[in-house]
Amino acid sequence: MEFGYNMKKDYPRCTTFLQGDLPTMVYDQKAFEAFKKHGEMSDELAKKTLRIGAPPTIRPAFLKEAHGKYYGAGSPKLKDTIFLSTELLAWYEFCEENRNDVLLRKYMLIKTMHEMVHWGDEQDGVDQAPEEGEEFEKEACGYYLFFYRAWAERTEREFRRRFPRAVK
């Protein structure tokens, strides 16, 4: 994995967290096996994908209805780029309570790996059906992950505390 300039600049805590914790997912046997299976990756490629210095590149983006996105073959310039929602990144970046929340940390790791599964699946040019990212989540965690509204509420509360005049 690599990180785009805006990711490092605007979300340094998220970048540090993902750089440190994504490589450790190889030790989560259930998640790692699901990652390889649904991403159609060899053991070597899967490990390389989760280490710093190899594609895909992670970038922040305003995503209206998702916390991650991979455009794939539909956009050749972005074929090695996955996007994480600025909303999700802000929940972690700007709220200490959220940074200490084990569920949010797991959610961020699994959602990032979900998009990496799409990237890995695209490498051979044959797309799996139905939704390999969701299948990965179900196999890795036992269920499809959903977010908790509390993460957004905590972040908003933190913003109001820090910047009382900026948020009305």
- What amino acid is encoded at 135 in this protein? E
Q: What is the pLDDT along the chain (168 residues), one digit of tens a residue?
A: 999 999 999 999 999 999 999 999 999 999 999 999 999 999 999 999 999 999 999 999 999 888 999 988 778 889 999 999 999 999 999 999 989 988 889 999 999 999 999 999 988 777 776 788 889 988 998 877 666 677 778 788 887 777 776 555
Whole-structure pTM value: 0.88
Q: What pLDDT does residue 166 have? A: 58
pLDDT in tens, 35-75: 999 999 999 999 999 999 999 999 999 998 889 999 887 78
Q: How far is CA 155 from CA 9, 60, 90, 113, 134, in A?
A: 19, 18, 8, 24, 26
Bridge partner residues of 60 (DSSP): 84
Q: What pLDDT does residue 86 have? A: 96
The span from the CA of 47 to the CA of 40, in Å, is 13
**In this structure, are strands 81-85 and 68-69 parallel, antiparallel, or unpaired?**
antiparallel
